[in-house]
Amino acid sequence: MSTKVEQVVKAILDSPDEILHTYREANEFYFRFRGHTFSIQECEPSSNSFDREAGYSFYVYPQWTSSPQSLPFAEARGEHGTDSVAYREGEFEESLLQQLHREAMSRCFKVDAVFDDVLGDAGA
Amino acid sequence: MQAIWDSRQDIVLAVGLISNILTILLSVIALWGLVVKRKQLGLAFQMLLTSHLDRRMTRVRETLTRLESLNYDKKTQRGEVRNLLAQLCGSLAAISEESDELSELVDELHEYHHENQPLTENNKRYLLSKLQGILDEIDHDARVRVLGRDKS
């Protein structure tokens, strides 16, 4: 049986059109989904074997109500409301976070518009 | 009583005379120094300026070393990277008149700090290596100035 957070990630993947206001900062994509703020980060493993951030991480920001775009800067400054809960790759079914990362990235870079355009041209 | 008063006046006159002679002597030495040892004095002044610049450069390089050891891709290190960039911005502003390139770079850093431009680890590395190059150039120019040779 999957955990609650896994169900949330699956819900996001089931309704990618509801991933809104995507914003990229470094290797992390911030977004809103059904009124709540989340982010997905992909981190290259470093030489440090105790690197906790290596791989994919999913963050939930329960108190953040402003736009995801202003979140990374507020986070860097340690402002109020930026507290997050982190979930690491190992806590999810294989490749679930990888799929979410790709989905958030596609939404951020508007890949769908490119595909629609290409398919539209091909159809014409 | 009159004799004591007269001897005291003599002493005051003698002291005044000695101090005037010393003032004249020192003025002559100073003028001689300015005329004859002009180059050496200029060099000493230039070295004083360079040591001041050196202290500032050392502080900037220390911040650079710390920044290089951090990774902006690590969420937990982002706050410190942005704070250090702000610190760098302040330190560089004091020496930005040394080079037009440095002045441009300070403006660029300012955008990242004050206008919340998105930053990546690659951007950070690019900015730091560019800054290293500019600092090396400023360092070199300062040494050339002290040696009294024009850069051609």
Q: Distance between CA atoms of B78 and A25, rounded to whole angstroms?
A: 10
DSSP string for A82-122: ---EEEEGGGSSTTHHHHHHHHHHHHHTTHHHHHHHHHHHH
- B38-147, what's its fold? Four Helix Bundle (Hemerythrin (Met), subunit A) (1.20.120)
**A77 vs B contacts (CB less than 8 Å):** 79, 82
Query: Containing domain of residue A92, as a range?
Result: 4-123
- Segment B43-80, tens digit of pLDDT: 777 777 777 788 888 889 999 999 999 999 888 898 89
- Segment A57-109, tens digit of pLDDT: 999 999 999 999 999 888 888 888 999 999 998 888 889 999 999 999 999 99
B84 in Cβ contact with B63 (< 8 Å): yes
**Residue B143 forms contact with A (CB below 8 Å):** no
Out of B79, B83, B121, closest to residue A26 by CB: B121
**B79 vs A contacts (CB less than 8 Å):** 75-78
Span B17-26, average pLDDT = 95
Instruction: Output the pTM of the full model.
Output: 0.72
Report the pLDDT value the prediction gives residue A61, as an integer from 0 to 100: 97
Q: Distance between CA atoms of B26 and B32, rounded to whole angstroms?
A: 10
Q: How far is A32 from chain B (nearest CA, A)?
A: 18
- Each domain of chain B, given as residue ranges in start order, spans 1-36, 38-147
Counted domains in chain A: 1
Hey, CA dihedral for A9, A12, A16, A21, is it positive or negative? negative
Report the pLDDT value the prediction gives residue B43, as an integer from 0 to 100: 75
Report the pLDDT value the prediction gives residue B35, as an integer from 0 to 100: 85
Report the pLDDT value the prediction gives residue B151, as an integer from 0 to 100: 44
